[in-house]
Structure 1
Amino acid sequence: MISSTIIISVYKDIDNLELILDSLSTQTLLPNEIIISEDGNSEEMSTFVQKMKNKHTKLNIIHIFQDDIGWRKNRALNNAIVTATSEYLIFIDGDCIPYSKFIEAHVNNAKENVVLCGKRMELGERYSKLIKQRKLKVSDIEKNFFLILPKLIIDKTNHLEDGIPLSNGNFIYKLLKKRYVRHIIGCNFSCFKDDFIKINGFNEDFINPSEGEDVDPSWRFRAKGVELVSCRLIANIAHIYHEKRFNHEIGEINRKIMYKNMEDNISFCKNGLDKYLSKEQK
């Protein structure tokens, strides 16, 4: 069995992070380590992480942080990649709670020169509130998905189909797998650490959310001969509702950076992972 590190991108939201860690503690396959990648340096977060270490003694929880001087998620993620001691990396965001077989699905389908790309079910306001109030668990949705389905529809859940839990060998998954659009969603994907080094990690020229954590590495992986493969429906996560945090103008700034790099065929980004790696790691 390959060793795995799950990297969780967070910024101050300890409520959702506790839900994630609770879920990770009951996975069918535990990760070898969990890196909480904080884009900031909150004393509250540090105190909380220590509390979680005491609560979840079976989990190997590591907390990394940096100065809080604006959106620098890509820098935090690059530091997490360097910190990770496992050969296989799984990425989620701090507002997404995994189903019980999430780690198992990623690890069991891991291949060199392949990025596994999942998606997310976006819960509506009511169900998100119930989960945050501990009146309902994401595992309850997982176990009773089709019974709860009508209520999820009423609650305006987006991408509802990505909440359907299928087993790895399910014939429906095998049938649909090749038809799915294969691209990275930053809150649910995985790959070998060595494959990320091939593209020099995340591009730190992106200093705003949108494009830089998902669309940009997608094309750079392909340019380096790394295949993107869907793992929808077997590696499920539930996204907790919140207001959108970026707009079209911010996205356009990032797209200009990305399109220029694509035009110049800069798949190994210039402002990335290599400045943190030792000579032995490169």
Structure 2
Amino acid sequence: MPTYSTSLLIATYNWAEALELVFKSIAAQTRVVDEILIADDGSDHRTRSLIDAFRRSTDIPVKHFWHEDHGFRKTIIMNEALASANGDYIIQIDGDIILQSSFIEDHLNEAKKGFYIKGSRSMLSESRTRSILQSKNVQIHPLTEGVGSKINATRFPFLSFLFRGDKLRSNNLRGCNFSFWKKDFMRVNGYNNDLEGWGHEDIELAARLTNLGIKQRQLKMKAVCFHLYHKINARNNEDLNYKNYQRVVESGITTCKNGIKQI
């Protein structure tokens, strides 16, 4: 059992039906976290009502952080949530990610000082997603039709070591299956609030962690998650955000000015 405290961070926006399934998969975990932080980028009352109901159903403290919907401002609300995190170790997911029952246990068993974890995900097809939303069954078999990337969908910890990579790398991180030490997050000043609009806030953060000397621990066949299908978000600022990422890689900087603290 870990001797440190843990927080689960969930980023969400206006999809209460998906978030309900996330909550169901959290309730089925083999290991619990010390608190749940919900970073809500401006959802309507349906999400708040769902979170209130979930809070009443669990013994885990649930904190809901919300700001008004003024476009995609995910980094700002995630920084606000993480500033209040009591956990030494943070596991981050999105509000459309269903967790295999050992997801949290696997992240905690693989946590190591000097590393962040990049997990993998299995993408669900539109028809499989529709079926799961209707049935509300979060027990997903990796061989079921509509479950993508069978390796990513399969938990087989005895073979996981064959795929594990511990490298200084940032360009492949996905924030939907990501864990890190809060101390490291604070050292790089958290997410960059200047990155507005969809895209690359995760790899930009990972680049600053890499520049600090924090390695990526890549997992497969452990910490399994399933990504519900949805239409692609508007990506108006993607190129600008990616250029910011490239600048961080090329310059070697470790902190951003407009982050969890304004420098």
What residue in structure 2 maps to residue 30 of structure 1? 32
The structure in which a higher percent of residues are helix is 1
- 1:57 Cα deviation (Å)? 2.5
What residue in structure 2 maps to residue 43 of structure 1? 45
What residue in structure 2 maps to residue 124 of structure 1? 125
Q: 1:163 is aligned with what amino acid?
A: A
SS state of the match for residue 189, structure 1?
strand
SS state of the match for residue 50, structure 2?
helix
Q: Is residue 166 from structure 1 mapped to residue 156 from structure 2 by the alignment?
A: yes
SS state of the match for residue 195, structure 1?
helix
Q: 1:160 is aligned with what amino acid?
A: K
Q: Is residue 7 from structure 1 mapped to residue 12 from structure 2 by the alignment?
A: no
SS state of the match for residue 30, structure 1?
coil
Q: Is residue 255 from structure 1 mapped to residue 242 from structure 2 by the alignment?
A: yes
- 1:179 Cα deviation (Å)? 8.6
What residue in structure 2 maps to residue 138 of structure 1? 138
- The two structures have a TM-score, normalised by structure 2, of 0.92
Deviation string for 1:232-262 (max 9, x for gaps)? 2200100000111134x53212112222343
- Coordinate RMSD, CA, aligned: 2.0
Gaps of 5+ in 2: none
What residue in structure 2 maps to residue 195 of structure 1? 184
Q: Is residue 238 from structure 1 mapped to residue 226 from structure 2 by the alignment?
A: yes
What residue in structure 1 maps to residue 209 of structure 2? 221
Deviation string for 1:3-54 (max 9, x for gaps)? 1110000011111111111111110001111111101153332222111112
- For the residues of structure 1 that align with 2:130 and 2:13, how far apart are their CA atoms? 19
Task: Judge conservation of contact 1:210–1:250 (CA < 8 Å) in 2.
Answer: yes
Q: 2:178 is aligned with what amino acid?
A: F
- Select the residue among 248, 255, 263 that pairs with 1:268: 255
- 1:72 Cα deviation (Å)? 0.6
Task: Judge conservation of contact 1:36–1:61 (CA < 8 Å) in 2.
Answer: yes
- For the residues of structure 1 that align with 2:70 and 2:140, how far apart are their CA atoms? 38
Task: Judge conservation of contact 2:16–2:50 (CA < 8 Å) in 1.
Answer: yes
Q: Is residue 18 from structure 1 mapped to residue 7 from structure 2 by the alignment?
A: no
What residue in structure 2 maps to residue 280 of structure 1? none
What residue in structure 1 maps to residue 175 of structure 2? 186
- Matched pairs, number: 259
Provide runs of 4+ in structure 1 moved above 6 Å.
179-182
SS state of the match for residue 34, structure 1?
strand
- 1:118 Cα deviation (Å)? 0.4
Task: Judge conservation of contact 2:151–2:220 (CA < 8 Å) in 1.
Answer: no
- Select the residue among 145, 149, 164 that pairs with 1:177: 164
- For the residues of structure 2 that align with 1:100 and 1:252, how far apart are their CA atoms? 36
Q: 1:225 is aligned with what amino acid?
A: G
Give the alignment of 1:47-126 within 5 angstroms.
47-54=49-56, 56-126=57-127
Name which one, 1 or 2, has greater alpha-carbon Rg.
1
SS state of the match for residue 235, structure 1?
coil
Task: Judge conservation of contact 2:166–2:217 (CA < 8 Å) in 1.
Answer: no
- The two structures have a TM-score, normalised by structure 1, of 0.86
What residue in structure 2 maps to residue 279 of structure 1? none
Task: Judge conservation of contact 2:7–2:35 (CA < 8 Å) in 1.
Answer: yes
Task: Judge conservation of contact 1:25–1:58 (CA < 8 Å) in 2.
Answer: no
